[in-house]
Amino acid sequence: MAAKCSVAIMLVGALMLMCAGLASSATRCPDCGSTQVPYPLSTGPGCGDQLYKVRCDGGAGALFFDTPNRTYPISSISQTIQRFVIQPPSFLDNNNTCVTTDLSTEGLQLDPNLPFNITSGNTIFYLNCSESLLRSPLNCTSTSLCHTYINNSAEASSCGRAPICCTFRPGGSATTYSIRVRDGGCQAYRSFVNLDYSLPVSRWPAPGVEIEWVPPPEPLCTNQTDCDATSTCAPSATVGVSRCFCNTGLHWDYVAGTCALGNLFDIIF
Ligand SMILES: *[C@@H]1O[C@H](CO)[C@@H](O)[C@H](O)[C@H]1NC(C)=O
Ligand SMILES: *[C@@H]1O[C@H](CO)[C@@H](O)[C@H](O)[C@H]1NC(C)=O
Ligand SMILES: *[C@@H]1O[C@H](CO)[C@@H](O)[C@H](O)[C@H]1NC(C)=O
Ligand SMILES: *[C@@H]1O[C@H](CO)[C@@H](O)[C@H](O)[C@H]1NC(C)=O
Ligand SMILES: *[C@@H]1O[C@H](CO)[C@@H](O)[C@H](O)[C@H]1NC(C)=O
Ligand SMILES: *[C@@H]1O[C@H](CO)[C@@H](O)[C@H](O)[C@H]1NC(C)=O
Ligand SMILES: *[C@@H]1O[C@H](CO)[C@@H](O)[C@H](O)[C@H]1NC(C)=O
């Protein structure tokens, strides 16, 4: 029994060494300050997947997400679910106005050609809205959760002077790429991730917008020198584009960014 166990342990060890020894063709970027930058996020041309750019301010040790119009600080990253949370901008004029500071760039707008979208984990409040919103599918009733937020939050207290606000949860069939504020629409927004509606506003998390990245495909290559020993450079379904496809017996693990063996436990037991 003991011997059998130690054999199993040795086997696990050997397999783990093998996995660790597999040089990855997909290079993870170095940490940004104390924050890990998981694959496929890329802080530079030599690492990650170039479609998944984020920016590391090395001096501040902080990560930022650049949209075409504006930069947002990244406050957390969850690699296993392919999501990160950005910090939305605050209210103008030291919170004395119900207008968020990104009104000039019409709120948060992601480039729809990039593999990022706004998740259904966000509860979004549109604030200081015009009457035209009453004809929208958003919940702009007097009992809408946005009123609970306004009534109980110091930062949004000025929004109490603006009668119309609306609550919205992305998802459904349409992919969401923007939280739009503009003249004639709404002048401010707030977003909260994984909000527990039973909690009082005083126990809500800090505002945040959760963004999801589409699982990355295998890394691009022009020839075999771009790939490691675990993969082969071959044409992909897209004409003229080749990728490092994993060799027989291995599969592309997009979370780790490597060619991986099957589930370790399936193999041993
Ligand atoms: C405005 O609200 C934010 C919370 O989003 C808070 O961090 C900040 O201190 C407030 N600013 C002022 C001047 O009260
Ligand atoms: C609502 O937005 C308008 C237009 O930007 C602004 O003039 C007004 O001050 C805002 N309302 C409040 C209560 O801040
Ligand atoms: C913001 O970016 C989008 C493209 O994502 C662009 O269409 C729009 O005009 C920009 N808005 C402003 C105010 O810069
Ligand atoms: C709007 O939200 C409130 C609070 O969650 C809810 O009670 C109400 O039924 C909703 N109204 C509509 C039209 O969805
Ligand atoms: C918010 O406060 C206003 C004014 O005190 C009150 O009429 C309204 O019922 C409150 N709404 C919610 C949802 O708490
Ligand atoms: C965002 O993209 C993912 C991955 O493609 C998709 O599964 C998800 O439904 C999208 N989310 C939204 C809110 O559109
Ligand atoms: C392989 O591609 C690299 C660029 O990715 C290039 O520098 C190198 O010359 C190529 N090697 C061959 C044998 O084509």
Are 207 and 74 found together in one domain? yes
Q: Are 73 and 62 in contact (CB under 8 A)?
A: yes
pLDDT of residue 107: 95
Q: Does residue 14 form part of some domain?
A: no
Q: Does residue 123 form part of some domain?
A: yes
pLDDT of residue 262: 73
Ligand 5 atom 14: the closest Cα is on which residue? 148
pLDDT of residue 36: 94
pLDDT of residue 54: 97
Are 119 and 151 found together in one domain? yes
What is the C-alpha end-to-end distance of the chain, expressed in Å?
15
Q: Are 43 and 29 in contact (CB under 8 A)?
A: yes
Ligand 2 atom 5: the closest Cα is on which residue? 187
Ligand 7 atom 5: the closest Cα is on which residue? 222
Ligand 6 atom 1: the closest Cα is on which residue? 117
Instruction: For a ligand 2 pocket test, name from 106, 157, 182, 187 the mutation site with the most ligand atoms within 8 angstroms of its C-beta.
Output: 187
Are 137 and 231 found together in one domain? no
Q: Does residue 17 form part of some domain?
A: no
Q: Which ligand is closest to the CA of 244, given by its number?
A: 7
Q: Is 212 in the pocket of ligand 6 (CB under 6 A)?
A: yes
Encoded amino acid at 76, one letter: S
From the list 89, 87, 78, 88, the residue with the least C-alpha distance to 41 is 78
Q: Is 226 in the pocket of ligand 7 (CB under 6 A)?
A: yes
Q: Does residue 146 form part of some domain?
A: yes
Q: Does residue 11 form part of some domain?
A: no
Are 77 and 147 found together in one domain? yes
Q: Which residues of the chain have pLDDT under 50?
A: 1-24, 265-269
Q: Does residue 49 form part of some domain?
A: no
Report the number of distinct structural domains present in the chain: 2
pLDDT of residue 263: 58
Q: Could you tell me the distance, in angstroms and rounded to a whole number, from the CA of residue 243 to the centre of ligand 7?
A: 14
From the list 130, 179, 127, the residue with the least C-alpha distance to 157 is 127
DSSP 148: H
Q: Which ligand is closest to the CA of 147, given by its number?
A: 5
pLDDT of residue 16: 43
Q: For 73, phi and psi rounded to 5 degrees?
A: -70, 140
Q: Which two tokens stand for residue 117?
A: 């979208």
Q: Are 167 and 144 in contact (CB under 8 A)?
A: yes
Are 159 and 177 found together in one domain? yes
pLDDT of residue 4: 46
pLDDT of residue 10: 45
Are 105 and 144 found together in one domain? yes
Which tens digits make up the pLDDT trace of 119-157? Answer: 999 999 999 999 999 999 999 999 999 999 999 999 999
Are 101 and 225 found together in one domain? no
Q: 253 in the Ramachandran plot: left (φ > 0), alpha (ψ -120 to 50) or beta?
A: beta
Domain boundary among 181, 213, 245: 213
Are 208 and 229 found together in one domain? no
Are 226 and 133 found together in one domain? no
Q: Does residue 111 form part of some domain?
A: yes
Structural domain harbouring 77: 67-213
* Element containing residue 19 per DSSP (H, E): helix 2-21
pLDDT of residue 25: 58
Q: Which ligand is closest to the CA of 167, given by its number?
A: 4
Ligand 3 atom 12: the closest Cα is on which residue? 105
Q: Does residue 206 form part of some domain?
A: yes
Q: For 56, phi and psi rounded to 5 degrees?
A: -105, 120
Are 205 and 233 found together in one domain? no
* 96 CA: nearest ligand 2 atom: 14
